[in-house]
Amino acid sequence: MSVFKFKQFDVDQTGCAMKINTDGVLLGALADANVPKSILDIGAGTGVIAMMLAQRYTNALIDAVEIDETASKTAECNFKSSKFAERLHMHPQSFEDYFEMNPDVKYHLIVSNPPFFLNSLLSPGPKKSLARHTDESFFERLLNACANHLADGGTAQFILPVGTAEIVTSYSAKFGLCLYKRINIRSFSHDEPHRELIILGKEQKKLIVEDFVIYESLKIYSAAYQNALKDFFTIF
């Protein structure tokens, strides 16, 4: 059994195509919301992002949707075994089906670490392909769903490769969404960004751009990374 131990919860990854990775934990740690009462995690995988947000926002009710049957069952078990169990709810279906069944639901925060390899070769194995590959229409559907289901003042937040983030941002205005914040994520300070965390909302706001560096030097995490993950990772 593949179990990743955090300070306040454990994550069983058994049978999940996409294991815990830097993208997911950074979204869980850096997602920025003003005391959200309701959160939705789209494409929850193991459930790690939802549980990190449950730890950070102690009064929030959190829904998670996951289309892969094995991953959704694993995440549900992770939820039930955590101390946040009463506030975490897994929905084993696509986000389109979930919203069709819950047309009036609104969220203060919607997060996703979605499939992001646009128009590229498929990964080996059907499960990983499902988890990591998509086309541009997926993001249009995702943005439309977020725009329709954000509460007043709510935000949608995604972590994506730089090129995909630019495409998603270019689509956002079509659905009445505005880019509030972009965090450029780099491995080292001298590297080009390889990921962006983007925050979208319905109001017009001045764009905030920040940089986030993961490593100070080879195998040495930066102070920013340690500060972001110190409440979660046992190594800090």
CATH code of the domain containing 117:
3.40.50.150
For residue 234, tell me if it sits in a domain: no
Look at residue 62 and tell me if it is in a domain.
yes
Residues in the chain: 236
155 — phi, psi (to 5°)?
A: -135, 155
- What is the per-residue pLDDT across 138-169, written as a single tens digit (0 to 9) for each? 999 999 999 999 999 999 999 999 999 999 99
Domain count, the chain: 1
Three-state secondary structure call for residue 7:
coil
**Quick one: pLDDT at residue 2?**
87
Query: Does residue 132 register a pLDDT over 70?
Result: no
- Host domain of residue 16: 3-229
Residue with tokens 């997926």: 138
What band does 133 get if pLDDT is binned at 50, 70 and 90? very low
Q: Model confidence at 116, in pLDDT bands (50, 70, 90)?
A: low
Report yes or no on 107 lying in a domain. Answer: yes
Q: Is 110 left (phi over 0), alpha (psi -120 to 50) or beta?
A: beta
Q: What pLDDT score does 18 carry? A: 76
CA 56 remoteness from chain centre: 14
Which of 47-51, 114-118, 143-147, 196-200 bottoms out in mean pLDDT, i.e. has the lowest? Answer: 114-118
pLDDT value for 123: 45
Task: Give the tens place of pLDDT for each residue, 173-195.
Answer: 999 999 999 999 999 999 999 99
pLDDT of residue 130: 41
Looking at residue 116, the DSSP 8-state letter turns out to be -
236 in a structural domain:
no
Q: Is residue 161 part of a domain?
A: yes
Using 50, 70 and 90 to split pLDDT, how confident is the model at 115? low
Beta bridge partners of 62: 39, 88
160 φ, ψ to 5°? Answer: -150, 155
- Kindly tell me the burial class for residue 87, based on how many C-beta atoms sit within 10 Å of its own C-beta (0-12, 13-18, 19 or more): buried
